[in-house]
Amino acid sequence: MAMFFKKKQKKEFEVDYNNIPEHIAIIMDGNGRWAKKRALPRSAGHAAGAKTLDKIVRFAESIGVKYVTVYAFSTENWKRPKAEVDALMRLMIDYLDDYKRVLGGENIRIKIIGRREELSDEINEKINIVENATKDNDKITLTLAVNYGGREEITYAAGKIAQKVKNGELGADDITEETFAKELYTNYLPEPDLIIRPSGELRLSNFLLWQSAYSEFWFSDICWPDFSKDDLLKAISDFQHRNRRFGGV
Ligand code: FPP
C-alpha cells in the first residue's frame, strides 16, 4: 500500500507501508537552540523534546516500526553545566515514573542502554522497574541511550570478551563479529536501518558506532522539539528510495 502525503511546503512524498524500516534510531538534537529561540531555559527545550519523543514513538508504532532507539544522554553530556545535567536527570526520572501515563497501554517495551555506574540509585531503581514492567510488551521497543557512548560500549564488550577468554569460556579463535556483538548493550536489537539527526549537525557523535555500519542516514534542519509525524514519514520515504547494497553490487 502506497500513500501520498502533501507537505506544508507543497512537497509530495510517497510512503510504502509494506516497507517500513524495522529499526529507526534518532539523535534528538536541537533542544537547546529550540529553547533559545523562545528565550526559554535549555531545560525547557529538553522537556519539549521528551514530549516529541512520546508523539513520535506512538506514531512509529502505529505505522509498524518495531524498534526506536534514541540518544537521551551521552557519556560526554556530563560536561554540560550542572544545572542542565540535573534538569536532564530529573526529566529522565519523571519520564520513567510517568511511563504508564505517557506510553502506557501502547504495548511498548522500554529498555535502557549505557553505563549504569554513574547514574544515581534513584534512576537505576526506576530503570529496573520500567524495564521489568514492560518486558512482555511486543508491539514496539523503545530504547533510551542514557550515559551511552559507542566507544565506551565497544570497550566494555572487549573487556567482557577478554574475561571470557581468561575464564576459558571462549577461545581466541571464537572471537567473531557475532560473538562480539553479543556483548554489546544492544544485543537484543537488530541494527538500525535508518538513523535520523535533526537540527543541522551532520555527525554521529559517538552514537551506535558498531551498529551503524550499514545504516542509512537522514539529516534535517528541524530542531527535535519541532519534529513532526510528517518529518518521520519524509525520512522514511527518502529511506525507501535508497539502494541498500550492504557492500554488494
Ligand atoms: C541534544 O540537544 C539533546 C540532548 C543532549 C538531550 C536529549 C534529551 C531529551 C530530548 C530529553 C529527554 C529524554 C527522555 C527519555 C526523558 P542539545 O541540547 O545539544 O541542543 P543544541 O545543540 O541546540 O544546544
pLDDT for the residue numbered 13: 83
Q: pTM of the full predicted structure?
A: 0.94
Confirm if 62 and 236 have CB atoms less than 8 A apart. no
pLDDT for the residue numbered 104: 55
pLDDT bucket at 4, cuts 50 / 70 / 90: low
Catalytic center residues: 29, 77
Higher pLDDT, residue 99 or 215: 215
Q: What is the mean pLDDT of residues 69-78?
A: 98
In ligand 1, the atom with minimum distance to the C-alpha of 30 is 23
CA 33 / ligand 1 centre spacing (Å)? 10
What's the Cα-to-Cα distance from 171 to each of 11, 27, 180, rounded to whole Å? Answer: 56, 37, 13
Q: What is the mean pLDDT of the chain?
A: 93
Residue 218 grid coordinates? 537522514
pLDDT for the residue numbered 10: 53
Q: What is the mean pLDDT of residues 113-136?
A: 95
CA 93 / ligand 1 centre spacing (Å)? 15
For atom 5 of ligand 1, which residue has the closest CA? 73
Ligand 1 pocket at CB < 6 A? 28-33, 42, 46, 49-50, 53, 72, 77, 91-92, 95, 144, 199
